[in-house]
Amino acid sequence: MHDDVSGADLHPRPQLVRPAWCSLDGAWDFAHDDADEGRSSGWAAALPASRAITVPFPPESEASGIGDSGYHPVVWYRRTLTTADLDAAGRSAASPRVLLHFGAVDYRATVWLDGALLGSHEGGHTPFAFDVTEHVTSGGSWSLVVRAEDDPLDVGQPRGKQDWLPEPHVIWYERTTGIWQPVWLEAVPAIAVRTLHWTTDLATATVRLEVALDSVPAEGTSCRVALGHDGVPLAEGSVVVTRDRFTVVLPVAEQANGQGYERLLWTPDSPVLLDATVEVAGPAGTDTVTSYLGLRSTAVERGRFLLNDRPVYLRSVLEQGYWEESHLAAPSADALRAEVQLIRDLGFNAVRIHQKFEDPRFLYWTDRLGVLVWAEAPGAYESSPTAITRTVREWLEVLDRDRSHPSIVTWVPLNESWGVQHIASTASLQSYARGITELTRAIDPTRPVISNDGWEHVDSDLLTVHDYEWRPDVVRERYGTADAFERELDGVGPAGRRIRLSGPTDGVPVVLSEFGGIRWSPSGSGDADWGYSTATTADDFRERLSGLLAAVHASRVLAGFCYTQLTDTLQEANGLLTADRRPKLPIEQLRAIITGEGA
């Protein structure tokens, strides 16, 4: 699975792959439903006059073929499924069941097949699936209909950078409604693997696999797991399966043969991935899936971030994951690989995905190309039980989806007090931030958690600061020594808020997790651009960027940084690259500045 595949060949769920699957992306029928009359008017059975849309691009985007960014709270989609689709998905006597998968639909989806309700899902960034087997047993084609509801004025939805105003303003962008990640079919046996979760323990040189099946297995069912690297077997084990959830533990050190256990560890400089095969076999049939994992550990200690028990200085960049032509959806599968490669080429070893749960194919490339990931939740904009419930539900779903990716090294459930605006003076909001942090640790105790990135931390494993000061001498003074930062920590932070409300500070790493934001547009588009500070020429941009990065690199306090931001995004012209991914300075110059190796 780790040969040099193109993005277009990549499965939409790269860590749980069956050999056959059928993409349903492409042309669908589409209709706005501004009056919300579709359900009562029978649109689930017969969509009225419609337009063509290209899935999975949101209808607000030009790539969709619609390009209408106005307020449209309800939209409908329709596509015909055929027996050819089922055959491409691998339906056979051995795999008779057919699953319909959606990568993400923003925000609330209801799905029908030939007028029969399959079910609903709430949450704009997380996957869901339906078993459609009983609906495709006869006939040669079937009508698949999706209704998506996305109220642009509902600020209690986890919406991230999606604007609630008619036009993008300041740091908020055009909305993404409806289907925006892949839709696909796959055929499975009568009993099938639903999820895989990999955990590695370097101290004991073991791999732990948690398997969830989609039904209770019959007596006589077993599971075999095999690990390898570059064609060399590393470990194999089998267990008898009596429940729909079980665990397999494999030792890997003794089986490493001549490869050497240390050389199998995953790092940004050596992103080794182990291939895995999981086979569940029994009276109900055999399900064989392929997966992968990385051997690595993360920790924080003595003011440093540790990877595999060794300190790593974080050189990170803020990634909005937004494209002008396709919004939150990548313009192509290959664009996801190119984005990760650009991050590497610029000299960053980490990326902070900002206010978005990114496409799993992006995470595959961060796993494979070696980029550490800070995974962050899209925020809501109100403090209410509804907003909290929605945020926690989606957060739990993404933990379930993503916690096996070795590149993810930090969880960030809240950012800049979005959705908890008055956390400094409200005990219930502090309880919420502390609670979602502890809940994250309970589900995944292997990674550090940041309770509220930027300021007003309540119980974070890293102290992160957002500071858009543009003068290098001021940055150098604030973060130059431990004494200087202690004064800032004890007072009001650079954004006018306290950095810490509660929680430990001794030994907790400090990361400048947002800074920079230098506005400069090579095209000279001028007043329409926005940034935290402004450069006037390429030389001015180079001087400002070099000064800020030199001040950060000189700090004896910081365990790393995250520069804002990778690309220009709509009205924001504060990227290192333009919106179409062209570097504003030669890449070798940017890399030298970012890595601290000189301009």
- What mean pLDDT is reported for the chain? 94
Tell whether the torsion through CA atoms of 340, 346, 350 and 354 is positive or negative.
negative
Q: Residue 528's pLDDT is what?
A: 58
Question: Which pTM does this prediction carry?
Answer: 0.95
253 pLDDT more than 80: no
Which among 439, 354, 349 has a CA at the least distance from the CA of 399? 439
Q: Residue 39's pLDDT is what?
A: 96
Confidence of residue 1 (pLDDT cuts 50, 70, 90): very low
Structure-token pair, residue 345: 């080429």
The stretch 265-293 carries a mean pLDDT of 97
Confidence of residue 491 (pLDDT cuts 50, 70, 90): confident
Q: Which residue has the higher pLDDT, 50 or 434?
A: 434
CA 386 to chain CA mean position, Å: 23
Residue 536: half-sphere exposure toward Cβ, Cα within 13 Å: 0
Structure-token pair, residue 164: 């609630």
Q: Residue 526's pLDDT is what?
A: 53
Count the helices and strands in the chain (H runs, E runs). Answer: 9, 31
Quick count: other Cβ atoms within 10 Å of Cβ 84? 11
4 pLDDT more than 60: no
Q: Residue 8's pLDDT is what?
A: 54
pLDDT digits (tens, 9 = 90+) for 12-71: 999 999 999 999 999 999 999 999 999 999 999 988 878 999 999 999 999 999 999 999
pLDDT digits (tens, 9 = 90+) for 322-339: 999 999 999 999 999 999
256 pLDDT more than 70: no
pLDDT digits (tens, 9 = 90+) for 345-394: 999 999 999 999 999 999 999 999 999 999 999 999 999 999 999 999 99
The stretch 298-317 carries a mean pLDDT of 96
565 pLDDT more than 60: yes
pLDDT digits (tens, 9 = 90+) for 39-52: 999 999 988 878 99
Structure-token pair, residue 349: 């070893």
Confidence of residue 255 (pLDDT cuts 50, 70, 90): low
261 pLDDT more than 60: yes
Cα–Cα distance measured from residue 569 to residue 580, given in angstroms and rounded to the nearest whole number: 9
Query: 198: which residues sit within 8 A by CB, 6+ positions away?
Result: 207, 208, 209, 276, 291, 293, 404
The stretch 514-530 carries a mean pLDDT of 81
342 pLDDT more than 90: yes
Percentage of the chain exceeding pLDDT 90: 88
User: What is the set of domains in the chain, with CATH numbers?
Assistant: 26-181 (2.60.120.260), 193-293 (2.60.40.10), 312-595 (3.20.20.80)
Q: Residue 49's pLDDT is what?
A: 78
Q: Residue 487's pLDDT is what?
A: 86
CB 234 within 8 A of CB 256: yes
The stretch 200-216 carries a mean pLDDT of 95
Q: What are phi and psi of 468, to 5 degrees?
A: -100, 30
Query: Which residue is it, tokens 């006869």?
Result: 138
183 pLDDT more than 90: yes
Cα–Cα distance measured from residue 123 to residue 150, given in angstroms and rounded to the nearest whole number: 10
Cα–Cα distance measured from residue 38 to residue 30, given in angstroms and rounded to the nearest whole number: 12
Structure-token pair, residue 107: 């925000």
259 pLDDT more than 80: no
